[in-house]
Amino acid sequence: MSLAIDLGGKRALVAGVGDDRGFGFAIAKSLVAAGATVSVATWPPLLKLFDLLLTREPIALEAVHPFDADYDRLEDVPAKVREHRRYKDAGDFSIAGLATAVGSVDIVVHSLANGPEVTKPLLSTSRAGYLAAVGTSAYSHVALVQALGPTMRPGGSFVTLSYLAAQRVVAGYGGGMAAAKAALESDVRMLAFEAGRKWGHRVNAISAGPYKSRAAEAIGPIDQLIVSAAERSPLAEPIAAEEVATTAAWLASPLATGITGSVIYVDKGYAAMGLVPG
């Protein structure tokens, strides 16, 4: 009996891919390598840059869909956004529009987060900034399950990406983003129950260690976080995007059909540590 990850015949969507340095792109590559037919969803202002990227680093994608996770339906989008030059030719970039464009899938990966005030301490975060962080980073996952769950084939898999700040203090990870990740993990448990009972789907999260993506660089001292985590981890080295990507492929595969409602740590064991000797 072979235990290789085989996603042949499966259709997958990775939502939140904007460049080749983040977990989303690495996950898309791993799903393709495992045999899945993969589409990605990209923020409309990044579409042209992402298309250019694909000419330099080709990956066999079924489609690249415009997607803004802040809007459930196109009619919810303010006119000034719809008419913006980076949006006006994108078609229906809402969550409902993405669900219609993608159709029935077996695997959905939610790889997106944003907090407009992420560099602010929580004590300085505005209500608008806090709610924006939770809406984009956590509720968008709920909305994707709502929209894609009904047409997903039985035994489908939803995977989202979390971070240790959901459970512990990570100084500098502000603007409500820690609360957003905590909400995301709580939602994973509830969605696993509801989507499992209603449709037979699984819902899990991966909590990855610090990684130098473009998004992480915008937050602050990511290099310091990476070094600190490596010094304190049982496996004293930084994580690689491929380690997160292959975990996502495994979670979506028949090898993990007994796992749902879980947060899987891919962080070299950092989350398990308390006091580090010496």
Tens of pLDDT, residues 106-134: 999 999 999 999 999 999 999 999 999 99
> Which of the residues 71, 87, 139, 163 is marked catalytic?
163
Q: Domains in the chain, ordered, with CATH?
A: 11-268 (3.40.50.720)
Q: Which amino acid is at 221?
A: P
Query: Which residue reads 């209603």 in tokens?
Result: 198
173 is catalytic: yes
Q: Which of 71, 130, 173, 211 is catalytic?
A: 173
Residue 270: active-site member: no
CA gap 260, 192 in Å, rounded: 6
Residue tagged 């993969």 (tokens): 38
Q: By the 8 A CB rule, do 202 and 196 touch?
A: yes
Label residue 277 by pLDDT band (50, 70, 90): confident
Q: Where are the beta strands (DSSP E) in 138-200?
A: 157-162
Average pLDDT rounded to a whole number, residues 28-38: 97
Q: What is the pLDDT of residue 2?
A: 65
> Tokens in use for 272?
């398990």
pLDDT one-digit tens code per residue, 147-168: 999 999 999 999 999 999 999 9
CA atoms within 13 A on the CB side of 91: 13
Render pLDDT for 213-262 as a digit per residue (tens, 0 to 9). 777 666 667 888 888 889 999 999 999 999 999 999 999 999 999 999 99
- The pLDDT assigned to 79 comes to 95
